[in-house]
Structure 1
Amino acid sequence: MTTPEEWSAQAPALDSIDRNIISVLAQDGRISMTALAEQVHISRAHCHARLQRLQDTGVITGFTVNVDPLKLGFGASAHVILKLRQHNWRALRQQLLDIPEVWHVTLTGGPMDVILLVRAKDTADLRRVVFDEIQPLS
């Protein structure tokens, strides 16, 4: 078992510039390298090298897009909590993620097993997804 001290020893050392780069990218993942370098007060080449190191060491694992569900036609959303009958969590997780209206799956501890973020075009569609697609799987 890995101890917290071992985790810390394995984590790459980050200084204030690295943390500033991460902070700026968290606000705008599409910022140009030039603008990023200006905001963290280093040269463009130095910024590029640091960003590459952050990616190579796994500190930055990717870049994401935030979308407006309403503009995609999803007018209703709900967190759905499930208690599972199945024991094959990985297969069930994939089945849930294959439902287009399921945006996020979280495994939990305690009396309930899973929390889903479900988005649908309206409440009738939300009800259909929950009762016709999700409930038979749980």
Structure 2
Amino acid sequence: MPDEQMASGPGAPGAGGDTGSAARPLDSIDRDILRLLRADGRASIRSVAERVHVSRANAYARINRLIEDGVIRGFSARIDQERAGYGASAYITLKIVQDSWRSVREKLEELPGAAHVALVSGDFDVLLLVHTSDNRALRDLVLTRIQSIPEVLSTRTLLVFEETDLEPEP
């Protein structure tokens, strides 16, 4: 964020997300700050303060608290995957051995192109979003890398034909 840049990244306070305790309740100003930062993570403290009608010191303190509480996990850019060279995207569902979530998650997080991983309920256990350069790389990722994880019992690949990032409400 220009004008009093906020720290982010692996070494930043709260960058890990989970602080081990529940975050303090959010008020309407906190929610407005989150909405603004979600729409523009590069917004300056001054701009945020003006738009939510608080002082810069108050906005700065609130954003720092949201980071420290793990509510804000970091700042990032929204990427057009295709323009960035990732022409194939897919959601991959996995059935895994019971009680193996943590070890499977660690292995999935190391995969090239892994963008999001979630433990879910239903007909499968894990939902993984991946971006690869092309279908050949996607095939290799699924058949060679993911299916070779011993705790993975089965996979199903759902090709993404088009993606749209949803913008926060104005």
| TM-score in terms of structure 1 length | 0.80
Read off the aligned partner of 1:134 and give its amino acid letter: I
Structure 1 residues 97 and 58: CA distance shift in structure 2, 3 A: closer
Unpaired segments of 5 or more residues in structure 1? 1-9
Aligned to 1:37: 49
Name the counterpart of 2:61: 49
Pick from 73, 80, 87 the counterpart of residue 92 of structure 2.
80
Tell me which of the two structures has the higher relative contact order, counting C-alpha pairs closer than 8 angstroms and 6 or more residues apart.
2
**Which protein is bigger by CA-based radius of gyration?**
1
From 94, 107, 112, give the equivalent of 1:100: 112
Aligned length, in residue pairs: 129
Return the letter of the residue paired with 2:60: H
Partner of 1:23: 35
The separation in 2 between residues aligned to 1:56 and 1:102, in whole angstroms, is 26
- Report the residue type matching 2:30 in the other structure: D
Change (3 A) 1:61 1:87: closer
The percentage of aligned residue pairs carrying the same residue is: 45
Offset of 1:74 from its aligned partner? 0.6
RMSD, matched Cα: 2.0
SS in 2 for 1:117: strand
CA contact (8 A) 2:90 2:131 kept: yes
Which shows bigger deviation, 10-19 or 22-31?
10-19
Instruction: Give ranges in structure 2 of 5+ residues lacking alignment.
Output: 1-21, 153-170
CA spacing shift, 1:47–1:85, aligned 2, 3 Å: closer
Q: Which consecutive segments of 4 or more residues in structure 1 shift more than 6 A?
A: none
Aligned to 2:167: none
Aligned residue type for 2:31? R
Aligned twin of 1:132: 144
Partner of 1:120: 132
CA distance in 2, matches of 1:14, 1:97: 30
- For residues 132 and 58 of structure 1, the distance between their equivalents in structure 2, rounded to whole angstroms, comes to 35
| TM-score w.r.t. length of structure 2 | 0.66
